[in-house]
Amino acid sequence: MKTIEVKKPSGYFTQIGPAHPALKEPVMFNLDVEGERIIKADFAPGMSHRGIEWMGLRRNCIQVIYLAERICGICGITHSISFVRAVEQIAQIQVPVRAHYIRSIVGELERIHSHLLWAGVAAHELGFDSAFYLAWRVRENVMDLVEYLTGNRVHYAMIQIGGVRRDITREQFPRIEESMKFFDNAYDQLARVFLDDTTVQMRCRDCGVLTYEEARQLCPVGPTARASGIKKDVRVDHPYAGYADLDIEYMTPDRLTGEVRGDVYDRIVVRLLEVKQSIALVRQLLEQMPDGPLLAIPKPAVLLAKLKGAAGEAVGRHEAPRGEVMHYVRLEAGKDEPVSWKVKASSYSNYLSWIPMMEGEQIADIPIIAASIDPCISCTDRVALVQDGNRRVLTKAELHRLSVEKTRRIQASLSAR
């Protein structure tokens, strides 16, 4: 059928910043396409570069927690856990075990909500809105639970250096168990809708493949890596928080399908399996949670004083829904604010995998492939075929010049306002 498609002359240059009514961090794709096929893919992130690390060097450690939380609104707890773990190691603060468990519980609830959110977005990218609505309808349950436990649906503000700020009390357990029951059922339904549907399979099987070898070299993390058969999961590899006491398994697609293909479908499989895994983990954590205090240093003012005296460097990590997040922190004595703070978000590690995934696929696959690593893209720049009529391939230098000019022009007009 290829021959009678109405083809565009080959080699025209397209920029896609998917204008999604759906989510996430703006990213722009630069593509060479022939007809509907992608010859070469490149991307330009940084649309939402807010200079968070730089801001962090101007705030004290407690303020940085909330800044870290707002690196990403999907995992409201990931970055704060990572950051405080680094600080705790530097200041040698021993966190109460109960606090570790609470951190892990919230972390797993977050994984459930994030994976459901992702499933919905992926379905929406496929034009499968009923599945999107279904996933998000189910997700509201965990959102309610999280709000009930933390007081906010997104940025939980649960984490404090040296522990957690709010308890999960015995009275709250039944409500949690009720949700877990709900998700047991919901999982079956979601798995059927997402894994058995013919059209989903048509769109996702063997689309956007990342092989094991590519994955090893490009170092993606989380479900993106695991769907390609890379067994990597901070919760398993690296004993921390409540997870240190559990025996957790790597979730790879072969557990369900018996094979690893590394395609979009496998990424769906991995995430669904992880939802199920998270339900079990929450139950285990609740069961094993010891009593005890919540904070090593209950008074924030005292904590600030102690941190002022701490010095050294450390790395804090957490397995976010999208994979490993890691914060490198360096403190110096006598300073309220960190002297160095490097954030590595999960998508940061996963971006590069887009290139092998996209090349050779079709324009129509861009949204689902882009979404399959669960980045945070939401692009509002619309496809702009570059310049007069779409047939010129611009060189990189030209493109750069053009964009500089354009940005300047617009900014001039902005400042003139």
375 binds, among ligand SF4, another protein, none (CB under 5 to 8 A by kind): ligand SF4
**112 in contact with ligand SF4 (CB under 6 A):** no
Q: Both tokens of residue 67?
A: 């800044």
Interface of this chain with ligand SF4, residues 118 to 177, rule: CB under 6 A: 154-155
- Which residue's CB is nearer to ligand SF4, number 70 or number 216? 70
Label residue 188 exposed, middle or buried (CB < 10 Å: 0-12, 13-18, 19+).
Answer: exposed
- Would you count residue 373 as binding ligand SF4 (CB under 6 A)? no
Q: How far is the CB of 18 from another protein (least distance, A)?
A: 7
Considering CB under 8 A, how many residues would be counted as binding another protein? 166
First-last CA distance in the chain: 53
Round to whole Å and give the CA distance between 176 and 180: 6
Structure tokens at 405: 């000019």
- The 346-365 site mask, x for binding ligand SF4 (CB under 6 A), equals xxx-----------------
Residue 109: CB atoms within 10 Å: 25
40 versus 70: smaller Cβ distance to ligand SF4? 70
Q: Does 321 bind ligand SF4 (CB under 6 A)?
A: yes
Q: Which does 320 bind (CB under 5 to 8 A by kind): ligand SF4, another protein, none?
A: ligand SF4
Q: Phi/psi at 136 (nearest 5 deg)?
A: -75, -30
Q: Which stretch binds ligand SF4 (CB under 6 A): 42-50, 83-91, 203-211, 384-392?
A: 42-50
The residue from 169, 174, 334, 396 that contacts another protein (CB under 8 A) is 396
Residue 71 interacting with ligand SF4 (CB under 6 A): yes
Inter-residue contact 305 to 315 (CB < 8 Å): no
Q: Cα(120)–Cα(138) distance, rounded to whole angstroms?
A: 10
Beta carbons within 8 Å of 2's beta carbon, 6+ residues apart = 35
Shortest Å, Cβ 277 to another protein: 14
CB under 8 A: which stretch of 10-18, 176-184, 260-268, 269-277 binds another protein? 10-18
Count residues near ligand SF4 (CB under 6 A): 29
Of 77, 95, 297, 307, which lies in the binding site for another protein, with binding defined by CB under 8 A? Answer: 95
Annotate each residue in 238-277 with x if it binds another protein (CB under 8 A) or - if it does not, as one string.
Answer: xxxxxxxx-xx-x---------------------------
The mark string for 167-196 relative to ligand SF4 (x by CB under 6 A, - otherwise) is ------------------------------
Residue 236 lies near another protein (rule: CB under 8 A): yes
What residue ranges bind ligand SF4 (CB under 6 A)?
A: 25, 48-53, 70-75, 78-79, 154-155, 301, 320-322, 325, 343, 345-348, 375-376
